[in-house]
Amino acid sequence: MSESSAPISGAMKGSNAKRGLWSSRLAFILAATGSAVGLGNVWKFPYITGENGGGAFVLVYLLCIAAIGLPIMMAEVLIGRRGGRSPVNSLREIARHDKLNPAWPIVGAIGVIAGFLILSFYSVIGGWAASYVVKAGSGQLAGQSADAIGAIFSDLLADPATLLMWHTLFMALVMLVVAKGVRAGLERAVSILMPALFLLLLTVVGYAMTTGEFGRAVTFLFQPDFSKLTTSGILVALGHAFFTLSLGMAVMMAYGSYLPKNISIAKTSIAVCVIDTGVALLAGLAIFPIVFANGLEPGAGPGLIFQTLPLAFAQMPMGSLFGTLFFVLLIFAAWTSGISLLEPIVEWLEEQKGMNRTTSTLGAGFVCWALGITSILSLNLWSDFAPLGAISMLEGKTIFDLLDFFTANILLPLGGLLIAVFAGWVMSRQAMEDELALSKPMFRLWYITVRYITPVAVGAVFIYNLIGS
């Protein structure tokens, strides 16, 4: 089946041939990390951790990463490499080859829809980060108090025109790269800019240690208090494991189709999970000491990092420089993730509708941009509008909240569930043993996880939340 495999875009394949196998392993890790590390780690993880009471939530999140995220990532990469095509076609090819139900490409369709909905609000948040480059760079934040910094953020949210401008800019950046179809340069940039982001986060953690509340932050993040954990908190932790690792929408499947056969899927997937989790935990360690030292509210919601990090940059030496650099790197991380959100849609339009890359990027990007306007309005003019408020679980949720909830907590886990079922129950066991090349006990552990643990865990969390609401 794989002789006829056609790579999705020539960029990585070509460079692999030139640079040999080791660099193609690195290329895969860079591409996958570029997609995984983004706003999910730095923006979303700290604020949902704050909203859900800290330690116990973090523990469930870590468990979800290790016991569900990692095995599903391996399954996605494996299916992609086996099929050797774009996700929809990989699934179709495997299904045809093994005479399976032709409905499986629906997983690819979930990816297309999820990518589209996520990118619409992701771009708005990417826009927030972009606006902070200017705020930090122009010295606006220097020496400001917590109240003043809070007010700067509220002013931004209250101003739809400014939000729209930054959202437009972010979306244009994403579309530019997707339209050109060139990823190689960007992936190389990841290898410099990601470590730089990591270092800057470490710098803020270093600063945060001097605020005197570091110990409290560590306790908050790592000492589980199960009385604070709710059923919906578990769903959020599970959903976030998918979101942060870019799972459940076949992104890793697409990248897997480039991975040479002799490279360990397990080791590379572990590397991506460790890097991604490391960045998230570091972001938490950077932010919570500032929260406690300034008497801020851990459950402040989506604005948390924009109310805390600028405060650190306002107070630390060379803060304007570090602040500017930090937000530039954050935009870059969000950019590479945004590209991987738009890519599946564009690919789908190319393959299924026969459109060319420029037209499909412009079309998909425009519709996504337009949908993003509803998220912008949710922050100001429509902040009281909860379209599905009649359902108790969705009470008080704005359109922006609903988009986030529906994608991260429902669509991605559902996509992941289907991928686990496909790998665990549909594909031939022999094929997977060949692909993974693990020791017998390790293979069995993985197989049991995708076959039983993942479907049962995701199913149980879904059902509990339905009953609980």
Minimal CB distance to ligand PHE: which residue?
Answer: 40
Ramachandran class of 301: left when φ > 0, alpha when ψ lies in -120 to 50, beta otherwise: left
Sign of CA dihedral 15, 20, 22, 25: positive
d(CA 394, CA 383): 14
Stretch that binds ligand PHE, among 30-38, 141-149, 379-387, 397-405 (CB under 6 A): 30-38
Closest contact distance (angstroms) between CB of 184 and ligand PHE is 19
In the block, tokens 């879904």 appear at 462
- The correct pick among 16, 131, 211, 246 for binding ligand PHE (CB under 6 A) is 246
Q: Is residue 340 at the binding interface for ligand PHE, with CB under 6 A as the rule?
A: yes
d(CA 235, CA 87): 26
d(CA 276, CA 281): 9
Q: Is residue 39 at the binding interface for ligand PHE, with CB under 6 A as the rule?
A: yes
Stretch that binds ligand PHE, among 212-220, 243-251, 322-330, 355-363 (CB under 6 A): 243-251
Q: Looking at residues 175 to 234 of the shown chain, list those that interact with ligand PHE (rule: CB under 6 A).
A: none
Q: Is residue 244 at the binding interface for ligand PHE, with CB under 6 A as the rule?
A: yes
- The correct pick among 16, 86, 307, 337 for binding ligand PHE (CB under 6 A) is 337
d(CA 383, CA 385): 6
d(CA 50, CA 57): 9
- The correct pick among 243, 255, 327, 447 for binding ligand PHE (CB under 6 A) is 243
Best CA proximity match to 174, nearest among 36, 333, 280: 333
Binding mask 102-131 for ligand PHE (x = CB under 6 A): ----------------x-------------
Binding mask 147-186 for ligand PHE (x = CB under 6 A): ----------------------------------------
- The correct pick among 34, 38, 83, 372 for binding ligand PHE (CB under 6 A) is 38
Closest contact distance (angstroms) between CB of 218 and ligand PHE is 23
Q: How far is residue 320 from each of residues 133, 150, 164, 335, measured CA to CA in Å?
A: 9, 17, 25, 22
By beta-carbon proximity to ligand PHE, the closer residue of 118 and 152 is: 118
d(CA 88, CA 69): 21
Stretch that binds ligand PHE, among 13-21, 158-166, 244-252, 453-461 (CB under 6 A): 244-252
Closest contact distance (angstroms) between CB of 400 and ligand PHE is 16
- The correct pick among 16, 24, 33, 35 for binding ligand PHE (CB under 6 A) is 35
Contact 121, 375 (CB under 8 A): yes
Neighbours of 362 (CB within 10 A): 15
Token digits of residue 203: 């710098």
Best CA proximity match to 312, nearest among 336, 325, 294, 337: 294
* Contact residues: ligand PHE, CB under 6 A: 35-36, 38-41, 118, 243-244, 246, 249, 251, 337, 340-341
